[in-house]
Structure 1
Amino acid sequence: MSKSLNTSSAVWLHIGAGSFHRAHQAWYLHRLIAGGDSRWSIALANIRDDAAPLLNALAEQNGQYVLETVTPQGERQYETITSIRKVIPWDNELAALIAEGAHPQTRVISFTVTEGGYYLDNQFNLDQSNVDIQADLLGGCRTIYGTIAQLLAHRKQLNGDPVTLLNCDNLRHNGERFRHGLMQFLQLRQETALTAWIESHTRCPNTMVDRITPRPSPDVAQRVAQATGFQDRAPVMGEAFIQWVIEDDFIAGRPALENVGVELVASVLPYEEAKIRILNASHSCIAWAGTLLGQNFIHESTGTPAIYQLAYDYVTQDVLPSLTPSPLDLAAYRDVVLERFSNPYIRDTNQRVAADGFSKIPGFITPTLQECYQRGQVPTATAMLPALFFIFMQRWHQHNLPYDYQDGILDAAAVHQMFNSADPVTAFATDEKLFGSLAHSEPFAQLLRQSIDTVNHWLAQ
């Protein structure tokens, strides 16, 4: 069932109906509407059918739901989000999504597909070997590339109006890299005319997004009902902190996002690098380490002195020198991030944050490793992160993780083969997809082996 209200407004189509979008981008658009600017509204869709129950619940609630936010001090606030004015039902051909994207009122198409959903190799080229990409090259729409390609082809045919494509993920240089992947995808399909049209009729600004948003647990709905009286079937919760930085490069207009705290900038690079390397990488470090100690939640792992020290040393010893000079106070940002991770009220799980490690190692961690070596420094602190992930995956191989590990690009057979080999550490250290040029570095391989030994010794204590 599709619900549509206020059809006269410009439409911001978002692909990816998960919690993060509803706690982040939808909140900003809601704040504009609440402030009297109702020129834009959101149409929400999903590529896969796993969000169908959520979409149905939202449709029955006219797109409205309650956002609960909580500070590190435990102060909770509740806000009914009203920016989603159209909920697009899922269908196997994504016909309704594609039709919405082709409509001239749709002027921004944004998406959250997580790092693995871009299917990029360590050189940030399209991974043509992936089965989903192969299916989409034959005309499918399993991935963001197949979906956007079909959508834009339909738009070009119907009206040819320009549109902005906006990433809302933690992929570094996300707009540029998505565009590069899309163009490679279209070249493989020999879509010359569509490629030329996209070149002149779309923009892909780089962005940086930030708000810790765990998967909602059942007690969120209970607190929402108690606080508001609303029996919400699709509530979402997140931390009080929020940030959104966007390169101001929209081709078909945009909401007045600067009026609700979005930072519109010429370049997101310094914000992006600080967030990805300080927040995202240390987040993963804490999740992998905490899981290995048998802990369930990010806040309890951050509160474990040895794990806190791992993350603190990684940022202080290796990341800060890599990102200096910066317009940001990086040490202060580190401290704020670790305070946010310590928030006991978020109850973000190690399982959620530990996911997608095979994308996070090359995206979040390997650049710091490489830059340390380039300036003559041994990245002892940073090497602990892939060492933690190695042992984490060793536990996975042994069917000894306390939860199901989720990774969009996990090659399960290859990982099992690695751990069944005579020297799994060497196989790991020489993986170009993870470590790029460092895969050919004997000093790095030795450092990684030492780091794995250090983690094993730590876990044995």
Structure 2
Amino acid sequence: MGRIVHFGLGNFARAHLLDYTADAGGWDVVGVSLRSDKIRDGLRAQGFAYGLAVQGVGLKHIDILREVLVAPEDPSAVLAAMTRADIISASVTEKGYHLGADGLLDLSNSSIQADLSGTGPNTLIGFLAIHLSTRQTPLTVMSCDNRVENGSVLKAAVQSFAESAQIAINWALVSFPNAMVDRITPATTDELRTKHSDPMVVPTEAFREWVIEDNFKGPRPNWPDVQIVSDVAPHELRKLRMLNGAHSALAYAGLLHGHKFVHQAIADPDLRKLAVQLMSEAGAILPKNERVLVPAYSQALIERFENPELAHRLDQIAMDGSQKVPYRFAQTLRAGSAPSVATALDAWLEFCICETQAGRRLNDTRVDDIVQAARTSSPKTAILALINCADLVQFISE
């Protein structure tokens, strides 16, 4: 039986990678939590099985998780599990890569500094570099996060760490395929837990998509419906700029308008128009073979956003805007005229400023820097400079 060691067992991983792998059969998963024991304890109490509440389909039993390790409790146990993995995967969100505004590993980050000093490891990057320094068999390391060229970005971060730590790695043994992942997966509500008598139940939509670069060093599950392609970029750009871009636009503009959920925001005529136009602008600069898909894809996205049963919270989407905005909005704006994307960018800036003025702490890895910038005489200009997007000030008004 093949084995995947997966870092980050939030709802998305349990609705996406674990669901696909359960359908494939013949593989199991060991999970790793980099911070809290809450998910481990909840899943362990029910034998590491859980229900996947698929909207419009029903409850699906997922039972391929064999163990969940909590890294701060025993880093050596995590490293030992990694030696038995055929695939190591991760969905740790953008902030779990510890990148600077330039998209490269931030070697001054306190967590990275701790790993470099020999404390831990505590981060995905540190665990991978230390494990790969002793790896003697082929391995595929797979990012399942929403980042442009996520596999390449992860590899570059590990390489930077290894160079700084003076760790030798046999790079011929390991691959980092790029991938595009898609499945809207909101937070679990108490109502859903009660309905299914499952404290660890995960809600999700019926739609799912996974496109992976054909760059594996060893075996892989026979995942159903997964596209294995030579170039992920067209699929990735379509999803990140259209779906994620529209999601972020609805989140920031929707919260400013007093909405709480995606289905409420998309029902607002002004915000619906914003989302539709943003997807059109983003679609116009996609590779030619993807542009023909834009009208149908946009309509399908609107229908997914309208789904009230998902109850997808806008504040969940709004988290870590400093990590998301550069690739959801910036490249579309730099490519040409995109007034709706500019409006969305401005909504994020207004959201940051309004939350700061109201004394509400932003859920963002760069919250302290954003707060400081928001209190300057030109707050939008200062915030854009933080995320390496000073050139975009021309598209917004102070």
Please, what TM-score do these two structures have when normalized by structure 2? 0.95
1:392 pairs with 2:351: yes
1:170 pairs with 2:134: no
Paired residues of 2:142 and 2:151 also in contact (CA < 8 A): yes
Task: Look up the match of 2:42.
Answer: 57
Paired residues of 1:108 and 1:166 also in contact (CA < 8 A): yes
Paired residues of 1:14 and 1:111 also in contact (CA < 8 A): yes
Partner AA of 2:194 in structure 1: Q
Paired residues of 1:30 and 1:83 also in contact (CA < 8 A): yes
Task: Look up the match of 1:405.
Answer: 362
- Whole-angstrom CA distance in 2 between matches of 1:368 and 1:277: 8
Task: Look up the match of 2:289.
Answer: 326
- Note the alpha carbon deviations across 1:46-69, whole angstroms, 9 max, x for none: 1112xx122122123222111001
Paired residues of 1:102 and 1:151 also in contact (CA < 8 A): yes
Partner AA of 1:388 in structure 2: A
Aligned partner of 2:163 among 167, 187, 195: 187
Paired residues of 1:93 and 1:141 also in contact (CA < 8 A): no
Task: Look up the match of 1:415.
Answer: 370
- Whole-angstrom CA distance in 2 between matches of 1:93 and 1:355: 29
Task: Look up the match of 1:108.
Answer: 87
Which structure would you say has the larger Rg? 1
The aligned length equals 396
1:232 pairs with 2:198: yes
- Whole-angstrom CA distance in 2 between matches of 1:368 and 1:298: 22
Task: Look up the match of 2:396.
Answer: 448
- Note the alpha carbon deviations across 1:170-199, whole angstroms, 9 max, x for none: 0110001110111011111121x22xx1x1
Partner AA of 2:366 in structure 1: L
- Note the alpha carbon deviations across 1:407-434, whole angstroms, 9 max, x for none: 2x3141x2222222222233234x1634
Partner AA of 1:24 in structure 2: H
Task: Look up the match of 1:24.
Answer: 16
CA shift, 1:90, in A, is 4.5
CA shift, 1:287, in A, is 0.7
Task: Look up the match of 1:4.
Answer: none
Secondary structure, counterpart of 1:55 in structure 2: helix
Task: Look up the match of 2:262.
Answer: 298
1:221 pairs with 2:193: yes
CA shift, 1:293, in A, is 1.3
Secondary structure, counterpart of 1:326 in structure 2: helix
Aligned partner of 1:87 among 54, 62, 68: 68
- Whole-angstrom CA distance in 1 between matches of 2:125 and 2:376: 35
Secondary structure, counterpart of 1:311 in structure 2: helix
In the superposition, relative to structure 1, how do residues 264 and 394 fare at CA in structure 2: closer, same or farther (>3 Å)?
Answer: same
Task: Look up the match of 1:227.
Answer: none
Paired residues of 1:23 and 1:236 also in contact (CA < 8 A): yes
Paired residues of 1:111 and 1:167 also in contact (CA < 8 A): yes
Aligned partner of 2:303 among 322, 339, 342: 339
Secondary structure, counterpart of 1:17 in structure 2: coil
CA shift, 1:123, in A, is 3.0
- Whole-angstrom CA distance in 1 between matches of 2:28 and 2:346: 45
Paired residues of 2:260 and 2:315 also in contact (CA < 8 A): yes
1:369 pairs with 2:333: yes
